[in-house]
Structure 1
């Protein structure tokens, strides 16, 4: 049988192949290079000017290209990225055969979380310029990414008290052993154990004091801002909750935020940022039942944005579910409720306060009717001796409006999961990015997550635009990024040193602006 034979490793070449010739015209590293070169890194917050003296620094563009390429190819570790600089021909072409050490690489990610988020915003702007973002329907959700902190090193008040009780018991036992010790060896062993457990007790008391001072419900030793959260069912992990808003047209994330809280109080801020990013309120926001909170619904509706939030199953408050409060009809004009039997419930107008937690309070009114006592179906409606009492709080109108939105368009909400789970599924299942790589707080975690979303958006844009042929996409990238930075001449010189390129400015119909048309003679 014949086989394909490789080249002799010792064979010398008369005309060595350059790096430029080794990288195909359709290789994605060319798009990365073009994208980063088009950004104004100084305005984005990267440090560009360094003092003279000492070893010269690497330009932030070099390290940004390095990270984007790494995350696109599922390489996040600074040490692995350092290796790729010396053995990966695509990486050599991209950063011009530079090889920063792993500390320099890691510090770049650690020191630039805000600037990295602005780079993500640039990918969103790129998608908008290619008309890949519809801006009519968005879906929001959160996903848990494991932190670099074990459950063992996560503490709450009950867990610390349990440890302290155990240590006190052991100290009492070792103190008795010391008192009854006959030999020097036994005495030294008891003293050693007492010293060890006393040191551990001091550590737990410091954690206890820290919890009291901060008012936080829990604390993590390795990654202080990570929190133990429910992943699903009864399964918990010490993690961060990454909130993301995704546009429905092509499932492109337009926003992300790293938090250590659950979803309950996140929707208002997410929708407010989406309004700023999209520049309009003419869109519909879809969220699951974890976001079903009156105050957050109030924020969204106050912005004039339509929201469809899944309504959680509510526990039955009546012996027969047909007589639950949601089956009572509210008359806004008369401020009364009508029960399923036709009786009218009225209020005395007095506002009552209900406390949920130390700082959360809600005002509500009570509605009742005297007819309840003689009602023939009272035993189906309530077990209360004095009859049914209906409460209406300040957020009830928001809940009612949301219910109306869901009932008007039940099919629309069903799209939520397909929209927002697309990026999460790709990132966690396909790419394996199910954990935060960095430690020491939300800022550093945000930098890691930022690069994940940058890589996702660039990959998504290239995949979508690639249907028209990469060469066409490349030309469109040039046009778009020239407009963004307005430094087209320098980039043309870099990327097309020999090809004929014509730039034509022409009026855009119906606008005072001018359009930039790039005419490129592809070989």
Structure 2
């Protein structure tokens, strides 16, 4: 073979391929579930360790009728789909047709989306709680539970409802009336255009009405009737303080709440996490954004699951439980004390008392320091600007006027003994420092000051403040962030389980517990003993 001449192009030969071709491949379903993977762990735990006989009560087709799907198959598909961010039942149906791992889990069966949706929404609180306890038992046998320190926190879960449908009953009545007025205006415009057309002046429907006025009119009427029906069937919702809170026409058990993405309509999904391997020992969704009243339910649920998993009668007694400032309330602290747990819950101002942050201001950038100085600049005189003489028990204001006692000594709700003083009205009216002393100088009211003489009685909140301010308390509480926050990062950011596709607190709570099951099953796959 001779050497090719210079400048002559040589064509290379490659094997042909075509991505549009169809192949028939023999697949072993068992080989798709490799040990050590999450899908294999889901398959093993659901198939071998969970008791799903409670689901058999729904089927009465032993004598006749079409066979139903095994609940084990449906549960495996749902758990694996949730772990991959497939929250929609239609996406799960498509995955069972197109993805080989899903085909392996359901053994080639193809449950439709309505079957999957009915299975999840109809699972019920008792069944999902039983499944949660059984998975937690597997975690305990795999030595994943430490049982010494637990952290509680909440995650704002967007619901399947629009926040635009929220409002007090008065707001909803105004919205209903506005929709009815739009319907009447729509009809008047349509009648006006009809008369113009009959008079031969030409119809103006293209400019005055939308392209499909009939559909728009029907949609406005449905919205008004929906709000009207909601107002007739539902009473105003009451908040923890006894005042009315906003209702929602689509999902009245959800609530508006602040999240990292702004204001959302959703649920407050709480989780209680064990410190050793971040296993969730209890999860529950609440229809309020406030964490100040959830400790009782969280402690009771965690105790039930841990008792089933570990066999202890009182698994939380004398154990450390930490929570952030959102849980600092008398109701929560009473729940912690009743459960006899060693709780660490800081108040919202505890960082201002931290000695390590005393010099934090001087380490800020110049721009940040200027903003902080502007925000914290005092405009009015405070209590420490008044001089108190302990010998005579007299109080002098910065202008040199003497304040007199008004009322006897009393004890505040925080347990401090205090004395109230008031300046003479005539002295304040002519005082040159009036604008710096009174927030509302035009009101004519004199300045009042309260002098505290120390704590007389201890309260739950005062004891918790003293406890969290100790070096040991701050050190224990500092572990909370690394225990519970990565759990929400895994569920929301990594797995995509950051919203609920269902409506109603019971159904959303079921779906949240399924999300928590996915997290615990992944802990079993990664840190548990190898499963063969």
TM bucket, shorter chain: 0.5 to 0.7
Correspondence 1:461 to 2:524: yes
Cα distance per residue 1:158-184 (max 9 Å; x no partner):
532442564576689789999999948
Correspondence 1:154 to 2:192: no
Correspondence 1:449 to 2:512: yes
Selected match of 2:488 from 421, 424, 432: 424
How many angstroms apart in 2 are the aligned matches of 1:309 and 1:458? 29
Correspondence 1:473 to 2:530: yes
Matches within 5 A, 1:344-493: 367-369=417-419, 387-388=449-450, 397-408=459-470, 409-438=473-502, 440-465=503-528, 473-474=530-531
Contact 1:268/1:296, CA 8 A, preserved across alignment: yes
Assess, with a 3 A threshold, how the Cα gap between structure 1 residues 265 and 199 changes in structure 2: closer, same or farther.
same
Contact 1:150/1:238, CA 8 A, preserved across alignment: yes
SS in 2 for 1:141: strand
Assess, with a 3 A threshold, how the Cα gap between structure 1 residues 179 and 348 changes in structure 2: closer, same or farther.
same
Q: Report how far residue 92 of structure 1 moved.
A: 2.8
Which consecutive residues of structure 1, in runs of 5 or more, have no partner in the other structure?
325-338, 340-344, 353-362, 374-378, 466-471, 476-523
Partner of 1:109: 120
Contact 2:336/2:343, CA 8 A, preserved across alignment: yes
Cα distance per residue 1:63-93 (max 9 Å; x no partner):
1122222223332322222223233333333
How many angstroms apart in 1 are the aligned matches of 2:178 and 2:288? 31
Partner of 1:265: 293
Cα distance per residue 1:356-402 (max 9 Å; x no partner):
xxxxxxx88884448999xxxxx9xx988675266999996100111
Matches within 5 A, 1:233-272: 235-262=262-289, 263-272=291-300
Assess, with a 3 A threshold, how the Cα gap between structure 1 residues 68 and 386 changes in structure 2: closer, same or farther.
closer
How many angstroms apart in 1 are the aligned matches of 2:454 and 2:186? 60
Say how many residue pairs are matched.
Answer: 430
Correspondence 1:219 to 2:247: yes
Cα distance per residue 1:97-132 (max 9 Å; x no partner):
222222212111111032233222222221122221
Partner of 1:145: 157
Correspondence 1:281 to 2:308: no
Q: Pick which of 276-285 and 448-457 moved more.
A: 276-285
Cα distance per residue 1:472-518 (max 9 Å; x no partner):
5115xxxxxxxxxxxxxxxxxxxxxxxxxxxxxxxxxxxxxxxxxxx
How many angstroms apart in 2 are the aligned matches of 1:391 and 1:157? 47
SS in 1 for 2:469: helix
Assess, with a 3 A threshold, how the Cα gap between structure 1 residues 166 and 461 changes in structure 2: closer, same or farther.
same
Which consecutive residues of structure 2, in runs of 5 or more, have no partner in the other structure?
1-11, 239-243, 307-314, 351-375, 387-394, 396-404, 424-432, 439-445
Determine which structure has more spread, i.e. the larger CA radius of gyration: 2
CA RMSD of aligned residues (A): 4.8
SS in 2 for 1:473: coil
Q: Report how far residue 436 of structure 1 moved.
A: 0.7
Assess, with a 3 A threshold, how the Cα gap between structure 1 residues 322 and 5 changes in structure 2: closer, same or farther.
farther
Q: Report how far residue 33 of structure 1 moved.
A: 2.1
Matches within 5 A, 1:76-155: 76-114=87-125, 115-155=127-167
How many angstroms apart in 1 are the aligned matches of 2:97 and 2:221? 50
How many angstroms apart in 2 are the aligned matches of 1:449 and 1:218? 23
Q: Report how far residue 273 of structure 1 moved.
A: 2.9
Partner of 1:56: 67
Contact 1:292/1:309, CA 8 A, preserved across alignment: yes
Contact 1:364/1:392, CA 8 A, preserved across alignment: no
How many angstroms apart in 2 are the aligned matches of 1:10 and 1:307? 62
Contact 1:145/1:240, CA 8 A, preserved across alignment: yes
Correspondence 1:296 to 2:332: yes
Larger RCO (CA within 8 A; separation ≥ 6): 2
* TM superposition score normalised by structure 1: 0.68
Q: Pick which of 60-69 and 249-258 moved more.
A: 60-69
Q: Report how far residue 218 of structure 1 moved.
A: 2.4
Assess, with a 3 A threshold, how the Cα gap between structure 1 residues 199 and 397 changes in structure 2: closer, same or farther.
same
Contact 1:349/1:365, CA 8 A, preserved across alignment: no
SS in 1 for 2:259: strand
Q: Pick which of 71-80 and 101-110 moved more.
A: 71-80
